[in-house]
Amino acid sequence: MPDHLSARSFLGVFRFSARALELVWSTNRALTVALALLTLAAGLLPAGIAFLGAQIVDAVVAAHAALAADGGASLRWVFTWVALEGGLVAALAGAQRGLSLCQSLLRAQLGQRINVMILDKALTLELAHFEDSEFYDKLTRARREASSRPLSLVMRTFGLAQHAVSLISYGTLLLRFSPWAVLVLLLAGLPAFLAETKFSGDAFRLFRWRSPQTRMQMYLETVLAREDHAKEVQLYGLGALLLERYRGIFDTLYRADRDLTIRRDSWGFGLGLIGTATLYAAYAWVAVTTVAGRITLGQMTMYLMLFRQGQAAVSAILAAIGGMYEDNLYLSTLYEYLETPVAARGGRAQHGPDPADGIRFEQVGFTYPGASAPALDDINLHIRPGQSLALVGRNGSGKTTLIKLLARLYMPERGRILLDGLDLRAWDERTLRERIGVIFQDFARYQMRVGENVGAGDVRHFEDEARWRKAADKGLATAFIDTLPGGFHTQLGKWFHDGRELSGGQWQKIALARAFMRARADILVLDEPTAAMDAEAEAAIFEHFRRLTGGRIAILISHRFSTVRMADQIIVIQDGRIVERGSHTQLMGRDGHYAHLFSLQAQGYR
Ligand SMILES: Nc1ncnc2c1ncn2[C@@H]1O[C@H](COP(=O)(O)OP(=O)(O)OP(=O)(O)O)[C@@H](O)[C@H]1O
């Protein structure tokens, strides 16, 4: 846990209470008001009941004395007080039931609201955030714990108010017995409270400390129990090994939890005993006073009850404060996540000064966060509209990174990238995204209908069947889609009933179709789009790709030189730098890296 949290003053940690209340209030005002009123009622009624209890005993004693003195007794008062107390008890039960009803309703609404807030925020984040493990921890913590905390905090605040009202009313009645009694009542619970606060802080630190392990646990659950991993887990017999690791993590976490729970409960019990001892000392005091005849039997019953309930109220108040402290700590993770600064999303430009200029990289360099060496260094290139560019290079040479920079998923660290003569940073994000259609190697396979998987390429036409078909034609996907039982409406993926699985090449055709959904995109980027396709399909795709590119820019990453050679311009990247460039013929003439790689592959085909 960072120092700034541990060093905060005790009161400072209550800083989220007002925000939690605001959150609950804005989620449902009527329920919040009902909750407040019921809390007040539930706070006041117990003192009333104790007071009536004393009246009953005294009325009984008086009636009994009257009976002994003159043989006649009126039970009118006894019955009145009994009936009144019965009424108050019923009202208290109603108030408590109402409280729990309001709580359940609010809990559901608030949980949903906070989850939406968390997901909404996730939409504004940059790719780099998701790749940063520390940040990912924040997200996991927020999702796991924080959604129930605001209501809990508010309930505890209300609970605190309720018990405080009770305590004040008990105190008022007890004052008639002795002001010291009130003081004893208040002080008896303090030690238990201090212990509770300390352990709440410890529990939170534990929770924070073990975030990475909890994340690993969740990940192992996914690997062990999800269909997309099942194949490998079975073939390689990974199951037992991973389960063992899963158990190991649990054991470590459990040990820490157990130790804390044992310490928390032992201290709680020991310090709680002080409270009990105080309570019984007070009982003896009240009994002695009654025997001495200074208070009536009815008053004795009332004071005993006030002590007992008063002590329960003090404990409840202290526990509520301890709980609030804990809720506040957890909420701090939610707000830490929600307030993660997000860089401004570029400018507002919809056009560049020179549409005929296309794409330019000027001395672009980029290093991934946390990496020691740059993934790209001093990249210069220029592609005009109507031209195609192929990127070749070994695994890890930086090809995909270059595309990510072009798509503005990351910002270059050095140099700049221009589109139509304007720095990418100045472009309006939506306009930019509309102009670029990218399919990455690891494109998403949505467990949705086939058509929606294509439609995902253009949210405005997500449901447009005519466009699905057109795009699928271009991606050469129509032929196999038509053989599926529901055509474009076939559900994909095993998470759902009747979901179909596709072959690797079929998925790639879907992904290509998705890229072609962007009818308005004039920059089309395919990162190894055809690796899983058969040779015939690949040849057809590229023929199509070339015909389609009139006035557009096509960028292609491929390890297949038969397709690479078709590009107007070929760039060879090595360790993040451009080492060769030119057309196929030029590069073959140069007899360098490209020619070497090309002939290696050509030999394989001979
Ligand atoms: N998200 C990331 N965070 C940190 N480093 C990364 C990330 N993605 C890639 N790298 C590193 O950056 C370098 C370039 O990766 P890149 O994905 O651009 O290679 P590539 O040329 O596309 O490789 P391939 O042919 O295998 O697809 C590699 O060394 C890789 O380890």
User: Ligand 1 centre from 585 Cα, in Å?
Assistant: 29
pTM of the predicted model, to two decimals? 0.70
| pLDDT value of residue 10 | 54
| Residues contacting residue 12 through CB under 8 Å, at least 6 positions apart | none
| CATH architecture for the domain at 359-604 | 3-Layer(aba) Sandwich (3.40)
Dihedral sign, CA of 373, 374, 376, 378? Answer: negative
| pLDDT value of residue 11 | 59
| Closest approach atom of ligand 1 to CA 403 | 18
Listed residue (206, 310, 188) closest to 263, CA to CA: 206
More confident residue, 591 or 606: 591
CA pair distance 548, 526, nearest whole angstrom: 14
User: Ligand 1 centre from 399 Cα, in Å?
Assistant: 8
| Residues contacting residue 549 through CB under 8 Å, at least 6 positions apart | 386, 388, 524
* Three-class DSSP category at 573: strand
Listed residue (385, 417, 421) closest to 404, CA to CA: 417
Listed residue (315, 52, 285, 45) closest to 178, CA to CA: 285
Quickly state the pLDDT bin for 1 (edges 50, 70, 90): very low
pLDDT tens for 34-57 read: 999 998 898 889 889 988 988 998
Torsional class of 40: left (φ above 0), alpha (ψ -120 to 50), beta (otherwise): alpha
| pLDDT value of residue 184 | 82
Scanning the structure block, which residue is given the tokens 């020991």? 270
CA pair distance 429, 200, nearest whole angstrom: 44
Mean pLDDT of 103-113: 89
| Closest approach atom of ligand 1 to CA 127 | 1
| pLDDT value of residue 6 | 44
User: Ligand 1 centre from 400 Cα, in Å?
Assistant: 7
Q: Given ligand 1 and candidates 367, 392, 400, which is best to mutate, with the most ligand atoms within 8 Å of its CB?
A: 400
Answer yes or no: is the ipTM higher than 0.90.
yes
Among protein residues, the one whose CA lies closest to atom 17 of ligand 1: 400
The DSSP symbol for 491 reads B
| pLDDT value of residue 362 | 95
Sheet holding 523-527, edge to edge: 436-439, 523-527, 553-557, 388-393, 569-574, 577-582
Mean pLDDT of 6-23: 67
Q: Which of 26-40, 168-182, 183-197 has the lowest mean pLDDT?
A: 183-197
φ and ψ of 550, to 5 deg:
-45, 115
Which protein residues touch ligand 1 with a CB less than 6 Å away? 131, 368, 371, 375, 393, 395-401, 441
Among protein residues, the one whose CA lies closest to atom 24 of ligand 1: 395
Q: Given ligand 1 and candidates 391, 397, 560, which is best to mutate, with the most ligand atoms within 8 Å of its CB?
A: 397
pLDDT tens for 363-393 read: 999 998 888 899 999 999 999 998 889 999 9
User: Ligand 1 centre from 579 Cα, in Å?
Assistant: 17
User: Ligand 1 centre from 368 Cα, in Å?
Assistant: 9
pLDDT tens for 433-449 read: 888 888 888 888 888 89
User: Ligand 1 centre from 375 Cα, in Å?
Assistant: 7
Domain definitions of the chain by residue range = 16-339, 359-604
CA pair distance 568, 550, nearest whole angstrom: 13
User: Ligand 1 centre from 445 Cα, in Å?
Assistant: 21
Domain 16-339 is in which class?
mainly alpha
| Closest approach atom of ligand 1 to CA 370 | 4
359-604: same fold as 16-339?
Answer: no
Q: Given ligand 1 and candidates 368, 561, 597, which is best to mutate, with the most ligand atoms within 8 Å of its CB?
A: 368
pLDDT tens for 232-266 read: 888 888 888 889 999 999 998 888 889 888 988 89
| pLDDT value of residue 7 | 40
Residues in the chain: 606
